[in-house]
Structure 1
Amino acid sequence: MPGPVFLEGDTVTLRPVEEEDMEFVQRVMNDPAVWRPALDVNPMNDNLTTEFFETVLTTEEDVHCLVCQEDQPVGHVSLSESRYGPTETSRARSAELAYWIAPEHHGEGYGSDAAGRMVEYAFVDRNLRRLEAHVGGFNDASAALLESLGFEHEGTQREAAWYQGEYHDMLLYGLLRSEWREDG
């Protein structure tokens, strides 16, 4: 059973990730429909799952939530420190948005609802000024989700990703709080 509700969306709730949720996280992160687009090519066994929980999902710097629909986990959404490091990120009030939804729930709007709630939380509750997201150029669905939330394509890293036997561009998307509309 997922933890207590942290944020409530229209169709999903966002809850803290608990140790009991790691079976779901491990199952989905080992699904090729998730790890390939996420560009995470290594399998996740029990030891790596435990390490991921302890060193990534439970840090104080980042926000990781289980995306749930009627108390059933369907995905994950997070805000993470920017790659520029905590000192620079704190001054810039910036974070990276990331998400995945279990393949059996793709196309149901859960990713949009979860990401939208996390964007609102980032700007309203955490007083962040900027969000960014990185998407493989092959991932049209994820790019469309970001654009539907108001994110702008800010740049392209040419052939920076290896996906299913070919090099692809990585796309950088960004959203400033001043551009964000709370009503969607």
Structure 2
Amino acid sequence: MPGARIERGERVTLRTLEREDIPFLQRAYANPEIRYPLGTPLKNEEQLVEWNDDEDTDQFLVCLDEDDAAPGHPDEDDVRPVGAVFVEDASWRRPELVYWLVPEVRGEGYGKEAVSLVIDYVFRVYDRPAVGAGAYDFNEASRGLLKSLGFAEEGRIRKDRFIDGEYVDTVNYGLLREEWRTRDEESH
């Protein structure tokens, strides 16, 4: 069951990822439509629990909440998890974002809203000048999302990962705090 509400947007809510959510993650990571674009190997429940206990990663479920969903631990029927966003390494270097949505809700703007909420969260919670993210060269949707949020391409690691039978490039992106503030001010 998703945890406490951390941020709420117009359509999505970020909730803390709890141990009870591990089966949702396990089902999601078993899906090749999620696993391959992330370059994530299969993980069993024990590996996911260990990873969930990583204190250096802020972990959020992306949820579609019903109107009466509680800010604390809501009833399962009031919340539908549709993805996750992770903030890695924020306590010791530039935070790196990792994000995904289940295939049936892609293309509806939920990812952009969720990642925007996490960027706001990072710049409120961590005293860091920038946030980063990476996407594989073939993942046009993820690269497009980052560009639409103002991220700039900062580099490419050629033939970085072996995914689905071939080596692929990783494209690294960054967004400076002042770029986000300027973008945020211009949109209001």
Which TM-score band applies after superposition, normalised by the shorter structure? 0.7 to 0.9
| Counterpart code for 1:182 | D
Alignment partner, residue 73 of structure 1: 81
TM-score, scaled to structure 2: 0.84
Conserved 8 A contact 1:120-1:182: no
Alignment partner, residue 130 of structure 1: 130
Alignment partner, residue 159 of structure 2: 159
How far did 1:10 drift?
1.8
How many residue pairs get matched?
171
Structure 1: state its 5+ residue gaps: none
| Counterpart code for 1:167 | Y
How far did 1:58 drift?
3.0
Alignment partner, residue 26 of structure 1: 26
Structure 2: how far apart are the matches of 1:65 and 1:21?
10
Structure 2: how far apart are the matches of 1:128 and 1:15?
23
Describe the SS at the equivalent of 1:182. Answer: helix
Structure 1: how far apart are the matches of 2:133 and 2:53?
21
Q: Which runs of 4+ in 1 moved over 3 A?
A: none
Describe the SS at the equivalent of 1:60. Answer: coil
Describe the SS at the equivalent of 1:10. Answer: coil
Q: Could you tell me which of 49, 52, 58 is aligned with 2:48?
A: 52
Structure 2: state its 5+ residue gaps: 66-78
Conserved 8 A contact 2:22-2:48: no
Percent sequence identity is: 37
Structure 1: how far apart are the matches of 2:51 and 2:167?
28
Describe the SS at the equivalent of 1:69. Answer: strand
TM-score, scaled to structure 1: 0.86
Structure 1: how far apart are the matches of 2:109 and 2:47?
30
Describe the SS at the equivalent of 1:150. Answer: coil
